[in-house]
């Protein structure tokens, strides 16, 4: 028999569903590291590298496929301010290079630009999907998105093909060596880490 009242019960509080978490985080001053009239940059709450932030437009854009020619100058501004943020803040965190880009098939609502250093040194980076989402073409460079938008007036994606990339075997993003497991990969990439002190070779 169906109840006429909410199945959540009288004391259940309503929480925003998990895929709206960025919407909530945008409101949290503790996570905000930059804002102007058009954009906000926030800390990634589960950073996958020593330097990992998200840049979002204040006027909400759903995803890459909603972008039109009308967004070109906003996207240019987002990328420009992201670069400026990196320029003035990255040195305190890492010597490793930083990439700006979008996941082709994000889990979180609201278009967000990843600003992420290439050390990938983080306990939050736990599995193959994490790794491949930042190191395969699943990760679209911001400049490529901008160029495509300027040339075509839209960003067309093959989402099912993009999602296949997440299942690819693990491969070092620097030297392309393949590694069997995440722990082995994490151990391997230390050799490319610009922050890692040079270790004595094993005898």
Partner DNA sequence: GTTCTAGAAC
Q: Alpha-carbon distance 169 to 192, whole Å?
A: 19
Q: Alpha-carbon distance 46 to 25, whole Å?
A: 12
Tell me, yes or no, if 112 is annotated catalytic. yes
The 3-state secondary structure of 58-120, one letter per residue: CCCCCCHHHCCHHHHHHHHHHHHHHHHHHHHHHHHCCCCCEEEEEECCCCCCCCCEEEEECCC
Q: Of these residues, 52, 71, 103, 112, which one is catalytic?
A: 112
Q: Which does 95 bind (CB under 5 to 8 A by kind): ligand AMP, DNA, Zn ion, none?
A: none
- CA torsion 57-60-62-65 (nearest 10°) is -60
Q: Which is nearer to DNA, 71 or 114 (CB)?
A: 114
Q: Kindly tell me which residue out of 127, 150, 159, 190 binds DNA, with binding defined by CB under 7 A.
A: 127
Q: Which is nearer to Zn ion, 53 or 131 (CB)?
A: 131
Q: Is 171 in the site for DNA (CB under 7 A)?
A: no
Q: Which does 64 bind (CB under 5 to 8 A by kind): ligand AMP, DNA, Zn ion, none?
A: none
Residues in contact with Zn ion by CB under 5 A are 172, 174-175, 177
CB of 88 to Zn ion, least distance (A): 30
Stretch that binds DNA, among 54-62, 66-74, 124-132, 189-197 (CB under 7 A): 124-132
Q: Which is nearer to DNA, 10 or 183 (CB)?
A: 183
Listed in sequence order, the residues at least 6 apart from 3 whose beta carbon sits closer than 8 Å to its beta carbon are: none
- Which region, left, alpha or beta, applies to residue 21 given φ > 0 means left and ψ of -120 to 50 means alpha? alpha
Q: Alpha-carbon distance 30 to 43, whole Å?
A: 9
Residues in the site for DNA, rule: CB under 7 A? 18-19, 21, 46, 107-108, 124, 126-130, 133, 170, 180-184
Note the residues at the interface with ligand AMP (CB under 6 A).
21-22, 25, 44-46, 103, 106-108, 112, 133
């Amino acid at each position: 028999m169906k109840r006429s009242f909410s199945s959540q019960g009288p004391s259940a509080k309503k929480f925003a569903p998990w895929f709206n978490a960025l919407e909530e985080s945008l409101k949290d001053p503790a996570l905000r590291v930059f804002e102007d009239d058009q954009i906000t940059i926030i800390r990634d709450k589960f950073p996958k590298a020593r330097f990992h932030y998200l840049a979002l437009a204040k006027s909400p854009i759903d995803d890459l496929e909603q972008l039109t020619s009308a967004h070109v100058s906003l996207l240019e501004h987002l990328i420009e301010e992201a670069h400026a943020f990196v320029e003035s803040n990255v040195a305190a965190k890492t010597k490793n290079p930083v990439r700006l880009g979008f996941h082709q098939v994000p889990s979180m609502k609201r278009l967000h630009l990843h600003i992420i250093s290439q050390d990938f040194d983080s306990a939050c980076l736990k599995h193959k999907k994490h790794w491949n989402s930042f190191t395969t073409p699943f990760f679209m460079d911001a400049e490529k998105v901008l160029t495509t938008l300027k040339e075509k007036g839209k960003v067309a994606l093959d989402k099912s093909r993009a999602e296949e990339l997440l299942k690819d075997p693990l491969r070092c993003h620097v030297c392309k060596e393949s590694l069997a497991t995440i722990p082995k990969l994490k151990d391997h990439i230390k050799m490319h880490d610009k922050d890692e002190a040079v270790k004595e070779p094993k005898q």
